[in-house]
Each structure stands twice: as structure tokens, then as C-alpha cells.
Structure 1
């Protein structure tokens, strides 16, 4: 999967804007933090753990990793690398209530 054309981090409103060829997707910082793909967070979700993410969590930095981006959050979490396909999926899939 190709990288998006642009990624903009809007810290104030807590949104990550990702510009793909077919259009722009907006994903909240809290949603991204709750969907972290790192092994620790995935294991917790598989065991039925519900990650409580503060609504005011913010992305501090976006670090390109070639096949995706590493997001560094204001709560100190920085282990997850979000592959392009996963980032696109999060931007297009409606969030389901837990």
C-alpha cells in the first residue's frame, strides 16, 4: 500500500488528517490511541481488556517508518507503528461502541 500524500496533526482539536488519493480522512487521537497495534495493546484487547483512553490524549509526534507511522502520545505511549493499510482502515471504518 502506498503512503498517503500528506499527514497533518491537529493537536488542538485532537485530529490526525490523512490525505489519500481518494480523499482526506480524519481520525481522532483518542481513537488512534485506543486502536494501538503494538503487541502489548493487541494482547490486552485479545484477552478482553478494554483500554480506557482519556479524551484529551494527544499525538505529540508523528514519526515516519517507511511502511507506516509511529505515533507518540501525550500519555507516554509510543510503541505502536501504524501501517498504512491499518491507518486507512481506521479512517474509513465507523467506530463501534464498546
Structure 2
């Protein structure tokens, strides 16, 4: 399951992102969890301090912007700093 997913679907209604990998594995990631695990420097620093970001339970991914090595996600709370590398997304449960 290396590389870029073969398929990417975003459901704002169901609040999840679905990735289909080359080995056939389908992965469903909840929008709220993606927002909590944002890999941007600001969010990582927050987590390193042992703090959990306050994320609205109804946060949604509104826009997907492919960046070659990953995916920039734009959330309904305005947060858009994180670029999620493909390998980072693949390892998320």
C-alpha cells in the first residue's frame, strides 16, 4: 500500500474521507479525526505540549487539494494549513 491512492472520495454528508489503495484496501477516515491529527507545524506543536485540539464534532472537509506527495485538506472551521502525506494517511486507523 505504498504511493498514491487509486481512489479518493470525500463525503461531507457522512463526514468521512475514503481512500482506495493499490492493494485493494479501502480506508475510511472521519473528518473530525483528520482535523485532530492535522500534521501542520502549529497542530503538531499543540499535541507535543500534551494538548488536544478543540475540534467541533461536525467539522467537515470541504476541499481536497492534491499536492503531489499528499493532500491538503480545507476544513469547515477554516483550517487549511495541513498537508497530509500519503504515507501519513495510510497509517491512520
Q: Give the TM-score category using the shorter length.
A: over 0.9
Count of residue pairs the alignment pairs up? 91
Q: CA RMSD for the aligned pairs? A: 0.8
- Match of 1:9, SS state, is strand
TM-score scaled to structure 1, two decimals? 0.90
Residues in 1 aligned to 2:27 and 2:18: alpha-carbon distance in whole angstroms: 6
TM-score scaled to structure 2, two decimals? 0.94
* Counterpart residue number, 1:12: 13
Establish whether residue 85 from structure 1 lines up as the match of residue 61 from structure 2.
Answer: no
Residues in 1 aligned to 2:91 and 2:78: alpha-carbon distance in whole angstroms: 24
- Match of 1:13, SS state, is coil
* Counterpart residue number, 2:69: 67
Cα shift at 1:44: 0.5
What 5-or-longer segments of structure 1 have no aligned partner?
Answer: 94-98
Cα shift at 1:10: 0.5
Establish whether residue 57 from structure 1 lines up as the match of residue 50 from structure 2.
Answer: no
Moved over 3 A (4+): none
What 5-or-longer segments of structure 2 have no aligned partner?
Answer: none
